[in-house]
Amino acid sequence: MKISVLGATGSIGLQTLDTVRSCLLGTNIVALSGYSNIKALASLVDEFKPEVVWVPDRDATTRLLELCEFSGEILTGEDGLISCATETNADIVVNALVGRAGLAPTLAAINAGKNIALANKETLVSAGELVMNIAREKGIRITPIDSEHSAIWQCLQGSSALPEKIILTASGGPFRGWGRERIAVASAQDALKHPNWDMGAKITIDSASLMNKGLELIEAMHLFAQPPEKIEILVHPQSIIHSMVQFCDGSVMAQMGLPDMRLPILYALSSPERVATNFPRLDFLNCGALTFEPPNLENFPCLSLAIHAAKTGGTLPAVMNFINEWAVNQFLQNKISFYNISEIIDKAFDIYNVRTVTSLNDIREAESWAAEFLERG
């Protein structure tokens, strides 16, 4: 198997390479991309010896060449990232980029006939219908890396029956059980303390606001061709059940495991096969009680906004995704407060006229509207 890893230096990228290192011997890493952590990229280049590497610009190229031995092709810029996703002989492109940067390389890789192992949920949030339609036309497999979606997909294996309901589980994030006043003054440092998962900064903030679960609702709609009404969100603080599927006879399938992203990453790369691992095993006698509660929509308005965007469809999820990404960055830099994230999205929803999506251009126009909205302040 030949794979390209976009976003190789991030949380999912590094865990993908760790999974390859320990479980997928004989896999050839043909392309790697990094962004700000060039030192980490250099050490991956030394180890995996890809044919192609992407870095953002010329300075990063110079730095990379100072830090490692590399005689292959170095690509830069937005077009370069697309070439990195398309112009190799990779069978699978792992998209572990964060945010909007993930959409164009996913689409280009699909058009180039590459299968996609998708961590970048923002791709499906902003342009899910478009991406899934093109993948279907081209006969491309999009396998989910997101743990909940991997769980749903595993529960659906071998079944021709349609799900009656998908139960998307959520840990509830670091602010579960906190009062509104306390959440209102929470800092980025508070929000970055996720109870169960160690992830990149953006998804960790999205998990604190429950926007992550809203993004995942939209992701699930597209991956499994289900309307939002058939996807229920259930808080399960232990993150042992990664999601469930209920069938028309009332039977419920759950996929369980320790919270370890290497499992969904491995399955996305190896399915339908199961590959033996020495990863820690779930010990039912010592994992404690598994509990469930409904999400608190009052304290976590981002989830309500995302449910609204999921039900409305069209260009609204792309607008929400754009504004959320900007607001999360502002929050991480302590420029806005936690509830400002949802307030800004809410304000945009009040005045935005939703359009239907027929091409990537409609998404770009929606994002331009969102950028202007943010500039107006």
* Binding footprint of ligand NAD on the chain (CB under 6 A): 7-13, 34-36, 96-98, 101, 119-122, 146, 197, 199-200, 203, 261
Q: Among 62, 100, 68, which Cα is nearest to 360's?
A: 100
The residue (of 55 and 357) whose beta carbon lies closer to ligand NAD is 55
Q: Which residue is nearest to ligand NAD (CB)?
A: 10
- 178: tokens are 């906190």
CA nearest 27: which of 2, 49, 47? 2
Q: Which is nearer to ligand NAD, 36 or 62 (CB)?
A: 36
Residue 51 engages Mg ion in binding (rule: CB under 5 A)? no
Question: Cα dist. 76→55, 56, 65, 108, 112 in Å?
Answer: 5, 5, 14, 16, 19
Tell me the closest approach of the beta carbon of residue 157 to ligand NAD, in angstroms.
20
Smallest gap from residue 9 Cβ to ligand NAD (A): 4
Nearer to ligand NAD, 95 or 246 (CB): 95
Residue with tokens 């691992």: 277
- Let me know: does 148 contact 169? Beta carbons within 8 Å: yes
Residue with smaller CB distance to Mg ion, 210 or 327: 210
For residue 122, the minimal CB distance to ligand NAD (Å) is 5
In the list ligand NAD, Mg ion, none, the entry touching 150 (Cβ below 5 to 8 angstroms by class) is none
- Residue closest to Mg ion, measured at CB: 146
Nearest-10 Cα torsion for 374, 365, 124, 357: 140
CB of residue 210 to Mg ion, shortest distance in Å: 12
**How many residues contact Mg ion, by CB under 5 A?**
3
- Please tell me whether the peptide bond between 272 and the residue prior to it is cis, using omega within 30 degrees of 0: yes
For residues 5 and 18, give the distance between their C-alpha atoms in angstroms, rounded to a whole number.
12
Q: Using CB under 5 A, which of the segments 12-20, 53-61, 142-150, 366-374 binds Mg ion?
A: 142-150
> What residues from 146 to 165 belong to the interface with Mg ion (CB under 5 A)?
146-148
Furthest CA-CA distance within the chain: 62
Least separation in angstroms between residue 101's CB and ligand NAD is 4
Nearer to Mg ion, 115 or 239 (CB): 239
Q: Does residue 219 interact with Mg ion by CB under 5 A?
A: no
Within 8 A by CB and 6+ apart from 56, the residues are 35, 76, 77
- The distance of closest approach from Cβ of residue 16 to ligand NAD in the complex, given in angstroms and rounded to an integer, is 9
C-alpha to C-alpha distance for 239 and 258, rounded to whole angstroms:
7
* Binding footprint of Mg ion on the chain (CB under 5 A): 146-148
